[in-house]
Structure 1
Amino acid sequence: MARRSLPVALPTALIVFAALAGCAPQNQPAPGPPQSTCTKAELKTRTPGKLTVATDDPAYAPWFADNLPANGKGFESAVAYEVAQQLGYARIDVQWVRVKFETAIAPGPKEFDFDINQFSITDERKQAVDMTSPYYLVRQAVVAGKGSKIAGRSRLADLQGAKLGAQVGTTSYQAITDVVKPTVKPQVYNTNEDAKKALQNGQLDGIVVDLPTAFQITSAEIKDATIVGQLPQVGVPETFGLLLDKGSPLTGCVSGAIDALRGSGKLEELEKTWLSEVVDVPDIT
């Protein structure tokens, strides 16, 4: 079994992340306006002088804390406030709204300036919405009960006969269909909460989620759950980006804010604060 001692916030991962941002144009937004227009006075937000930020309900740890996005706790809440600050918005100027994941990625006008909700950057999504520069490099992981038939397994072949599930419309579900390629039809759920309940009830052998969420589930949410391992990356490494309305005039400025946070080391600092865990995580090969 290939194993690695993997902090979620790894310097090596950040090097790959920085390289990805520079050499993978398919993950980049359309060129934005000149930086001089990226000021609070110039930005055309939904409410003048305010920045409306969306996320899902419930909003899960470690991305948020206590399902309260406005408290600034959790990686994505902290990132949102840092982006706002880069654009000249004080914390009091940030307004949060709740939008379901599937609603956010669907075509059509949005009721927010940007949404932060673990949206993986994909070409398919960019047909319907704008995606910013990446703010997080992610791996998908399989979580199972310690008594599951797939617990301790290390090969994709060991998972192909398992009953797996994930949230609808996510790259976690896509990882099941495109990477694991199970012989048993995977189950799809409206939320991660529903998928976790199915796992706890014995309806599934395992679920697929991003690695930080896997840490949260196994450490604090489901007794006797274990991380089976990380799934291999296929093609361009998976990254999270902020989501905006298609053709939003804000996309270039918001991407510029993320790029500045990456360049200053702030994103790395936030990862270490909210996501870093050192644990041996198997690679499923």
Structure 2
Amino acid sequence: MVTTPRTLAFASATAVLLAASACTPQAQPAPMPTVSMACAKDSLPTQTPGTLTVATGEPAEAPWFVDDQPDNGKGFESAVAYAVAEQLGYARDDVTWTRVPSDAAVAPGPKTFDFGIDRYPMTEEHRQAVDFSAPYYLVRQAVVALESSKIADRRALTELRDARLGARTGTAGYQAITDLVRPKSEPRTYKSDDEAAKALRGGRIDGLVVDLPTAFDLTGGEIDDAVIVGQLPQVGSPEAFGLLLAKDSPLAGCVSAAVGQLASEGVLKQLEQQWLAQDAKAPELT
């Protein structure tokens, strides 16, 4: 594979995000490319000259956005979009938002936006139709419990070892239980998310381990009185979210470099801490 500024930015940003997620003190972030003069605002071929058009879904869901208003800068993904815009030289007033359904955003063909942000997974299938920036988020696993559970207020991995934990078979959640928590009892496994959620509702397990986006869905109304106990340290090869661009977009390299710069400077980690760990009440378990 030929190495380009874009592929370097992608690989480096992935390394930085993984290093930031690691709990080992010796983990060091990889060197990052900086946003070049060629990526200056006046030289970028955006949909509207001088304006950065950003797409997201309808609705813009919490905690990735707040109050279904992506332009308020609140929520993790809204904050990331404005941080990328700033790296590229766009003031807040230079950013405009549009709503695009996810299936339309990932479909082949021209786009009505410069980049989209809506928890788009960077899958090989999607890459056949669209381009992605360097990843701005690597998905974490989280423990969900009922408010009445004995583990609802625990904050350390060692405090979960006497818990009955469950996860869907063959998922990163199951790996997180066996590799990180290492509970005294064998984890319960389920063939589907619905089956796992029923086990939690019925009290057959103390906690369910799922990816963080799913945890927010479960605690946001799918299961009454459910809470996120906390996020687990990164495990395995996590799913990555990237900014979505049209296939062969001339903006891809500059947008990737901007994301990479934010990763290198620790900004993405700070935004993750603020909007996901603190405001959305998904603390990190240690």
- Give the Cα separation in 1 of the matches to 2:270 and 2:230: 26
Alignment correspondent of 1:170: none
Structure 1 residues 261 and 215, CA gap change in structure 2 (3 angstroms): same
**Paired residue for 2:52?**
51
| 2: CA distance, partners of 1:21 / 1:102 | 34
Q: Which letter maps to 1:102?
A: D
Aligned to 2:85: 84
Report the Cα distance in structure 2 between the residues aligned to 1:237 and 1:59, rounded to whole angstroms. Answer: 23
Question: For the residues of structure 2 that align with 1:248 and 1:12, how far apart are their CA atoms?
Answer: 29
CA distance in 1, matches of 2:101, 2:208: 20
Structure 1: 5+ residue runs without aligned partners? 1-8, 24-30, 162-173, 188-195
* One-letter amino acid of the counterpart of residue 74, structure 2: K
8 Å CA contact retained: 2:167, 2:190: no
Distance (whole Å) between structure 1 residues aligned to residue 46 and residue 266 of structure 2? 27
Q: CA deviation at 1:118?
A: 0.9
Could you tell me the TM-score, scaled by structure 2's length? 0.64
Look up the match of 2:99: 98
Counterpart residue type for residue 91 of structure 1: R
The yes-or-no answer on 1:136 pairing with 2:144 is no
Which residue of structure 2 lines up, in the alignment, with residue 5 of structure 1? none
Q: Which SS does the other structure have where 2:255 is aligned?
A: helix
What's the offset of the Cα at 1:183?
7.7
Aligned position for 2:127: 126
Structure 2 vs 1, CA of residues 129 and 22 (structure 1 numbering), >3 Å: closer, same or farther?
farther
Structure 1 residue 237: Cα displacement = 2.2
Q: CA deviation at 1:115?
A: 0.3
**CA shift at 1:234, angstroms?**
8.2
Q: Which residue of 1 aligns with 2:5?
A: none
**What is the SS of the residue equivalent to 2:47?**
coil
What's the offset of the Cα at 1:54?
0.3
Unaligned runs of 5+ in 2: 1-16, 149-159, 177-188
Counterpart AA for 1:126: R
Local SS of the residue matching 2:249: coil
Kindly report the root-mean-square deviation, in angstroms, between the aligned alpha carbons of the 2 structures: 4.7
Q: How far 1:280 moved relative to its partner?
A: 7.7
Residue matched to 1:269? 270
Query: Relative contact order: is structure 1 or structure 2 higher (C-alpha 8 Å, sep ≥ 6)?
Result: 1
- Pick the structure with greater CA Rg: 2
Matched, 1:260 2:261: yes
CA shift at 1:269, angstroms?
Answer: 1.8
Q: What is the CA-CA distance between 1:109 and the residue it aligns to?
A: 1.4
Q: Are the equivalent residues in 1 in contact too, given 2:54–2:97 (CA < 8 A)?
A: yes
- 1:160 deviates by 5.9
| Alignment size in residue pairs | 241
What is the deviation of 1:139? 2.4
Q: 1:47 to 1:123 in 2, by over 3 A?
A: same
Distance 2:28 2:103 in 1: 26
**Structure 1 residue 102: deviation in Å?**
1.5
- Residue matched to 2:224: 223
Query: TM-score, length-normalised on structure 1?
Result: 0.64
Per-residue CA deviations over 1:204-257 (Å, capped at 9, x if unaligned) read: xx9997415624752788532255998998863222110100000000000111
Q: How does 1:70-219 map to 2 (within 5 A)?
A: 70-140=71-141, 210-211=211-212, 214-215=215-216, 217-218=218-219
Give every structure 1 segment of 4 or more consecutive aligned residues whose post-TM-superposition deviation is greater than 4 Å.
9-12, 19-23, 140-147, 152-156, 158-161, 182-187, 206-209, 219-222, 226-235, 277-282
Note the alpha carbon deviations across 1:69-109, whole angstroms, 9 max, x for none. Answer: 00110011011011111111111111100111121112121
Matched with 1:13 is 21
Alignment CA distance shift 1:134-1:160 (3 Å): closer
Taking the aligned partners of 2:282 and 2:146, their CA distance within structure 1 comes to 18
1:38 aligns with 2:39: yes
